[in-house]
């Protein structure tokens, strides 16, 4: 993989997450924290590529914040202003949860877990296009998950066809 592409895309994701962090009001503190610590996931990934110490710990913080974001999505899919279960959010939260837990619980199925990223990215896009987010905090978290998904798909395609 081209290191310039890795660093440029990581830089773009850091700038985008910084912008989304700036645009999320402190009123939505939980979503603010998910975006902040998901940014740590990018830093941890770059540190892992550079073989720097502490990368695994930073990556774990980022993964745990993504897990917390999935739980927030599942909660808001059930408890929302419309008083109805929003199935897209619930499925998205469950897919993100599976995407994180499958490699941890079943390491031999890591390739299958990487395929979950495609519907996760599609559902994030669907929720954003249909304006199904409750507030700006949730919308910004979905945008960040969408960006992560797009770059992950690009990395997978480059890795498979390179």
Over the stretch 51-66, which tens digit does the pLDDT of each residue have?
Answer: 888 888 888 888 899 8
- Residue 84 Cα distances to 9, 81, 138, angstroms: 38, 8, 17
3-state SS assignment for residue 52: coil
Q: How many domains does the chain have?
A: 1
Residue 125, pLDDT score? 92
Residue 99 near residue 82 (C-beta atoms within 8 A)? no
- For the entire predicted model, the pTM comes to 0.86
Q: Is the pLDDT of residue 124 over 90?
A: yes
In this prediction, residue 71 has a pLDDT band, given cuts at 50, 70 and 90, of very high
Helix (H) or strand (E) holding 78: helix 55-78
In this prediction, residue 1 has a pLDDT band, given cuts at 50, 70 and 90, of low
Residues 64-89, mean pLDDT to the nearest whole number: 88
- Tokens of residue 57, six digits: 């710990």
Predicted confidence (pLDDT) per residue in 99-119, tens digit: 888 888 888 887 777 788 899
Residue 133, pLDDT score? 87
Q: Is the pLDDT of residue 94 over 90?
A: yes
Give residue 128's domain range. 3-161
Cβ count within 10 A of residue 132: 17
Looking at residue 108, the DSSP 8-state letter turns out to be: G
3-state helix, strand, coil in the chain (%, to 5): 85, 0, 15
Give the residue from 116, 114, 120 showing the smallest Cα distance to 141.
120
Residues found in the chain: 162
Measured distance CA(54)–CA(63) in Å, rounded: 14
In this prediction, residue 2 has a pLDDT band, given cuts at 50, 70 and 90, of low
Helix (H) or strand (E) holding 148: helix 136-161
């Amino acid at each position: 993989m081209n290191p310039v592409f890795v660093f440029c895309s990581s830089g773009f994701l850091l700038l985008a997450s910084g912008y989304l962090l700036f645009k999320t009001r402190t009123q939505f503190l939980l979503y603010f924290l998910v975006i902040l610590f998901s940014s740590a996931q990018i830093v941890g990934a770059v540190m892992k590529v550079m073989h720097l110490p502490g990368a695994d710990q930073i990556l774990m913080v980022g993964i745990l914040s993504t897990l917390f974001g999935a739980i927030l999505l599942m909660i808001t899919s059930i408890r929302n202003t419309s008083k109805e279960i929003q199935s897209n959010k619930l499925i998205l939260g469950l897919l993100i949860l599976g995407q994180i837990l499958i490699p941890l619980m079943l390491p031999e199925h890591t390739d299958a877990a990487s395929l979950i990223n495609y519907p996760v990215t599609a559902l994030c896009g669907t929720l954003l296009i249909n304006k199904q987010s409750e507030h700006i905090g949730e919308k910004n978290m979905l945008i960040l998950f969408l960006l992560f998904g797009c770059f992950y798909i690009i990395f997978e395609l480059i890795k498979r066809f390179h």
